[in-house]
Amino acid sequence: MTVYDAPLKDMRFVLHEVLQIANYSNLPGFSDASEDLVDAILEEGAKLASNVLHPINQSGDQQGCTRQDDGAVTTPDGFKDAYHRFCEGGWQGLSFDPEYGGQGLPYILAVAVNEMISGANMAFGMYPGLARGAADAIYVHGTDEQKSTYLPKMISGEWGGTMNLTESHCGTDLGLLRAKAVPQDDGSYRITGSKIFISAGEHDLTENIIHLVLARIEGGPEGVKGISLFIVPKFHINEDGSNGARNGVMCGAIEEKMGIHANSTCVMNYDDAQGYLLGEPHKGLRAMFTMMNEARIGVALQGMAISEVAYQNGAAYAKDRLQGRSLTGVKNPDGAADPIIVHPDVRRMLMDHRAFTEGARAWMYWTALYADLHHKSGDEAERQKADDYLGLMTPILKAYLTDKGYWHATNAQQVLGGHGYITEWGMEQFVRDARITMIYEGANGIQALDLVGRKLMKDGGRALQTFIKELDDFIADNQGNEDMQPYLDGVTTAKGHLGEATMWLSANAMANFDNAGAGSMDFLHLFALTSLSYSWAQMAKTALEKQAAGSSDEFYKNKLITGRYFLERLLPDTASHLAKLKSGAEAVMALPAEAF
Amino acid sequence: MTVYDAPLKDMRFVLHEVLQIANYSNLPGFSDASEDLVDAILEEGAKLASNVLHPINQSGDQQGCTRQDDGAVTTPDGFKDAYHRFCEGGWQGLSFDPEYGGQGLPYILAVAVNEMISGANMAFGMYPGLARGAADAIYVHGTDEQKSTYLPKMISGEWGGTMNLTESHCGTDLGLLRAKAVPQDDGSYRITGSKIFISAGEHDLTENIIHLVLARIEGGPEGVKGISLFIVPKFHINEDGSNGARNGVMCGAIEEKMGIHANSTCVMNYDDAQGYLLGEPHKGLRAMFTMMNEARIGVALQGMAISEVAYQNGAAYAKDRLQGRSLTGVKNPDGAADPIIVHPDVRRMLMDHRAFTEGARAWMYWTALYADLHHKSGDEAERQKADDYLGLMTPILKAYLTDKGYWHATNAQQVLGGHGYITEWGMEQFVRDARITMIYEGANGIQALDLVGRKLMKDGGRALQTFIKELDDFIADNQGNEDMQPYLDGVTTAKGHLGEATMWLSANAMANFDNAGAGSMDFLHLFALTSLSYSWAQMAKTALEKQAAGSSDEFYKNKLITGRYFLERLLPDTASHLAKLKSGAEAVMALPAEAF
């Protein structure tokens, strides 16, 4: 009963008008991405999302995946057909290197398409998403032979892919892992061990699945420094590229879980499975991180995308459901009651959504543009800046967009009252699906620790300094523009709180690093709000320019209303995050463990 | 795999030491409730909760309720036996009038017991909870004959009870309801209509179910002023009190929903069912509100109780799970890693829980004591004050404790990482179960509207003024106590923000009532934090007194640490709630409806 309509107008606004991607035509791939082509791709993606993927979102949740006695896994009805159409459209290779069958288009465009796929059917999107992540790792770390063996079929969608990190006793702390790899005379390895929580671990969508598996080479060093990454295909691959015999890897069970039922979350058992080293021995964790950073951006996108689709369905209900009368006089005199969108508290929930989701979209796409610059810019300094920004923003995006994505899915469910709790209406699925995004690819607490423990002070804090300078420049450039003043004030206040928080951490973390840990999540949320204040300022500037140039498009007017709402209703939280952070670790850590 | 351990020590602390219920022995029922008896009851309740109710919480969720073809509903395995033991223990009548078989003990004690029942098995607790609510309505509004007919068996637990308000097109706005009642010559009515979302609507736990049903007497006025309340027993009742023939009411379907699967949420179809007017004709809504206010307190309790049980299981995992090393040096040198409770951000989540849950318990029990005073005090002024407080606090408790209960259930799930998402671990059930508490018995937005639109300004704002004076007196009484100063400062700041918010509403709601609606939820949360600051101050005072009297009990030390955490980490949000509220309705309401 839910619907998904890709927010194309907003996407185009961010891509063409705010970020002006046409200015980057000097970059490989961007020259092909004319505004018309981008729009055509977005429109095709929107059709796929609304007409093919979303209609099987609820049924997929209800049916789930089924493991057969032989370990085979059946996806829900319609998934095979939808996947076939996804592959036919060439979506898997949209931004991948043409040498391996990709279309080489900008990553930022792939991000926009992925937003639509995740919003329409998150569980579906994870099958190609995981495969793309595995392909990225092979692309960066594989030998030429590995690349030519695996990538073309992974990019066409004929083969799937997974990442296998977690074991039952270790997830965050991979140094504890037990899966082992025994070297063979032919240069391959025999992998043995059991992995859990493997998304898309087994399914019937592809002819083969290329598992990337973390294991310890027998006799290798203890801890994270002895972990290597292996390619373990489900079926051996013959010389001619066809599937050979089955490898020693099997789905042992499908986990029963809260949501994303249509994605098979598997226990994967490796029993003397033949694997091939990917990258250098004992440096598997680093190679895996190649996948994980992109994967974290992908998860952030899921958080935002679920917020968008939940908003759409909450808003539709609010306009349709007649209940009570407006506090300021009857608005729908011909009806038995007014639509509930007249009620300010219902509005508040919907406006919270818009202020978050539209801001998050602009911030996310802005970051994705830096991913393109990082990979493609010919300018060393620009590449470095892009790399800095990506490293800095990835944990913040991942944690904030998923924390808030979940929260907003909950709010959208609230708009429906009792109906929101009923399965048939589909809103509770958004909440259940969104919930995993706060956990996987590094729980959000780990993202906060990554931010304060690693990213913030890396290279002497260069990334943060560059970002703050960008904000300062923006403020200076727009000084005197009266309409921009509230936005500049917003950025200034948030930036001030962020600066104060950073100074506090600098001054107090050395003496007791728990001070950084105890404030890490507040710091992350404070940082996110600062980034959003900048994204909103950028969008407001664009909207004001369009209006000044004579546009009477309601879109710009509404954008500025939503921007004002952001300043008034979301941004004030920077102060309380700062206050909490500055209270330090003492009360957090004072209780003895046994008191809990 | 989850556990529930009733927080007896904290309950006793609040009942005996903070609220000192022994001081109320002049009230009926309290004289029987000696400290020993209270403790014995709490201990028995704790056993029931941990040993009988909690073990069937997860299995009940997984099995759910089953509707047979004839409309009968089967509860999950073990529920009948557990209900039998519940009745045997006399729990249903704990605080009910002895004239009808109750034990007449204080309501505050029933609240403590209900906290345990809801924490152990919320879905179970709803069966007797709804029956108790129906019994309360009959007790207040019924004729002597109705009371003697229904109450003894409802209080013994032999018969169940429900409340039937919602229809598919109306929940909040009951003026739209369509169920009709046709007067019969014998003084009874024939009820026809369909009700949805009826908790415990049909089940196999009791011999009969006494439905309370809102319907419009044929020819009665339109809107809420034409609604009457009827008693509709599932089985007709013979002269001798035994069950007669089946009445015309049937469960048409069980709703498939997000959680509380072990409670049957029914579509109830009334087809010329014989019903008996309860209270006056056309005044059914007022009679129903008797049930709803108690029910709202009960739902608030569910929110807090789920937070408590989720905390317990999150904390147990955090002490057990080895992953990573402390930021400040190895804490568990003999293990492969440290337990994750060493990590400040894990602590933060657990301390958030404690600061919320312990504060909420004190505030809830404090309010429950006013419910006793309201019903039982011999002093008119005291009864009025109690009534004022109950009216004021009910919507705040309902919305805040359920918003935060859900949020904390989510946080506890987060502590488990990936395992939190897996059904087997039981944490995701807490989240799914807690979710309904924000919706039913009046969605939280309705509570906020009730607060700013009705309760705040009722009787010239008397309730708020009394509460503020109580805070002022407390501050004055404790002035000069250095250890209390941080708590007094906390109350002072929160009270100041609350006062400013109230003034802003007074000044701006008249011109545009949307200003009140748009700020209603922030006002409610600000009020809740102010109330919690007072509860924490009361608890701190007690703990400090115990320490000054020579107690070295760790409990008091830990209470003060948690209190400090509350001041540092939860209370700062009052400022941002105030800032958001003062931004008014303009940006909230500015978008045209079609822009959503």
Structure confidence at residue B292 (pLDDT): 78
Residue at B5 is within a domain: no
**Cα–Cα dist A485/A478, whole Å:** 8
Tokens in use for B432?
């799914």
Does the reported pTM lie above 0.90? yes
Write down how long chain B is.
Answer: 596
Checking if the pLDDT of A530 tops 80, the result is yes
Tokens in use for B70?
């004839």
Indicate whether A397 and A471 sit together in one domain.
Answer: no
By the CB < 8 Å criterion, does B52 face chain A? no
Indicate whether B310 and B432 sit together in one domain.
Answer: yes
Angle between the B344-376 and B554-565 helix axes, to the nearest 10 degrees? Answer: 100
Q: Which one-letter DSSP state was computed for residue A576?
A: H
- Give the CATH number for residue B323: 1.20.140.10
Reduced DSSP (H G I as helix, E B as strand, rest coil) percent helix, strand, coil of chain A, to 5:
65, 15, 25
Of A449, A576, A591, the CB nearest to B575: A576
The three-point CA angle B250-B254-B255 to 5° equals 135
- Please name the residue of chain B whose CA is at the shortest distance from the CA of residue A449: B345
Residue at A22 is within a domain: no
Residue at A556 is within a domain: yes
Q: How far is CA B258 from CA A62, A279, B432, in A?
A: 12, 45, 6
Tokens in use for A378?
């010919």
* Beta strands at B73-74 and B66-67: parallel, antiparallel or unpaired: antiparallel
- Hey, which residues 318-337 in chain A have their CB within 8 Å of chain B? 318-319, 322-324, 327-328, 336-337
**Cα–Cα dist A434/A426, whole Å:** 13
Task: Assess contact for B250 and B191: CB atoms under 8 A.
Answer: no
A588 with B440: Cβ contact below 8 A: no
**Cα–Cα dist A468/A463, whole Å:** 9
Residue A113, strand partner residues: none
**Cα–Cα dist A62/A423, whole Å:** 9
Residue at B142 is within a domain: no
Chain B contact set for A171 (CB, 8 A): 323, 417-418
Interface test with A, best of B264, B299, B311, B327 (most A CBs within 10 A): B327
The letter for the amino acid at A455 is K
Is B256 in the active site? Answer: no
Residue at B526 is within a domain: yes
Q: Give B428 to chain A, closest Cα distance, Å.
A: 6
Indicate whether A489 and A433 sit together in one domain.
Answer: no
Q: What percent of chain B has pLDDT over 70?
A: 100
Element (H, E) at A229: strand A227-233
CA proximity to A398, closest of A514, A302, A473: A302
Task: Assess contact for A198 and A164: CB atoms under 8 A.
Answer: yes
For residue A595, give every residue at least 6 positions away whose Cβ sits within 8 Å of its Cβ, in sequence order, or none: B554, B558
Q: How far is CA B122 from CA B78, B88, B119, B355, in A?
A: 15, 20, 6, 22
- Hey, which residues 257-286 in chain A have their CB within 8 Å of chain B? 257-259
Q: Give B5 to chain A, closest Cα distance, Å.
A: 12
**Cα–Cα dist B106/B32, whole Å:** 9
By the CB < 8 Å criterion, does B428 face chain A? yes
Indicate whether A352 and A462 sit together in one domain.
Answer: no
Indicate whether B430 and B470 sit together in one domain.
Answer: no
Indicate whether B492 and B563 sit together in one domain.
Answer: yes
The letter for the amino acid at A170 is C
Task: State the catalytic residue, choosing from B218, B441, B500, B554.
Answer: B441
State pLDDT tens for residues A142-200. Answer: 999 999 999 999 999 999 999 999 999 988 888 899 999 999 999 999 999 999 999 99
Domain stop point among B420, B446, B472: B446
Residue at B529 is within a domain: yes
Coil, helix or strand at residue B227: strand
State pLDDT tens for residues B251-305. Answer: 999 999 999 999 999 999 999 999 999 999 999 988 888 777 788 999 999 999 9
Domain stop point among B415, B446, B477: B446
Of B196, B319, B569, the CB nearest to A583: B569
**Cα–Cα dist B318/B313, whole Å:** 9
Structure confidence at residue B572 (pLDDT): 98
CA proximity to A432, closest of B498, B423, B47, B529: B423
For residue A401, give every residue at least 6 positions away whose Cβ sits within 8 Å of its Cβ, in sequence order, or none: A300, A301, A303, A304, A307, A360, A364
Indicate whether B435 and B479 sit together in one domain.
Answer: no
CA dihedral sign, ordered A578, A583, A586, A592: negative
Chain B contact set for A517 (CB, 8 A): 327, 343-345
Torsion angle of alpha carbons A572, A576, A582, A584, nearest 10°?
A: -150
Indicate whether A438 and A463 sit together in one domain.
Answer: no
Structure confidence at residue B342 (pLDDT): 96
Indicate whether A319 and A439 sit together in one domain.
Answer: yes
Residue at A429 is within a domain: yes
State pLDDT tens for residues B440-474. Answer: 999 999 999 999 999 999 999 999 999 999 999 99
Structure confidence at residue A327 (pLDDT): 87
- Please name the residue of chain A whose CA is at the shortest distance from the CA of residue B344: A518
Indicate whether B365 and B439 sit together in one domain.
Answer: yes
Tokens in use for B113?
């017991």
What is the total count of domains within chain B? 2
Domain stop point among A417, A446, A475: A446
Burial A35-74 (b: 16+ CB within 10 A, else e): eeebeebbeebbebbbebbbbbbbebbebbbebeeebebb
A518 with B348: Cβ contact below 8 A: yes
Checking if the pLDDT of B581 tops 80, the result is yes
- Please name the residue of chain A whose CA is at the shortest distance from the CA of residue B446: A345
Angle between the B462-478 and B485-509 helix axes, to the nearest 10 degrees? Answer: 160
State pLDDT tens for residues A545-586. Answer: 999 999 999 999 999 999 999 999 999 999 999 999 999 999
B520 with A344: Cβ contact below 8 A: yes
Chain A contact set for B350 (CB, 8 A): 596
Residue B433 CB-density burial (10 A; 0-12 exposed, 13-18 middle, 19+ buried): buried
Helices (H), B228-343: 284-320
- DSSP letters of B298-325? HHHHHHHHHHHHHHHHHHHHHHH-B-S-
Residue at A56 is within a domain: no
Indicate whether A310 and A434 sit together in one domain.
Answer: yes
**Cα–Cα dist B235/B247, whole Å:** 5
- Mean per-residue pLDDT of chain B: 96
CA proximity to B242, closest of B344, B149, B337, B126: B149
Checking if the pLDDT of A291 tops 80, the result is no
**Cα–Cα dist B64/B258, whole Å:** 11
**Residue A274: phi, psi to the nearest 5?**
-80, 125
Coil, helix or strand at residue A31: coil
**Cα–Cα dist B150/B281, whole Å:** 20
**Cα–Cα dist A290/A57, whole Å:** 30
By the CB < 8 Å criterion, does B69 face chain A? no
Element (H, E) at A192: strand A189-199
> End-to-end CA distance of chain A, in Å?
44
Indicate whether B386 and B358 sit together in one domain.
Answer: yes
State pLDDT tens for residues B394-431. Answer: 999 999 999 999 999 999 999 999 999 999 999 999 99
Domain that holds residue A388: 288-446
Size of interface A-B (CB pairs under 8 A): 254
- Hey, which residues 530-569 in chain A have their CB within 8 Å of chain B? 554, 558, 561-562, 564-565, 568-569
- Please name the residue of chain B whose CA is at the shortest distance from the CA of residue A260: B421
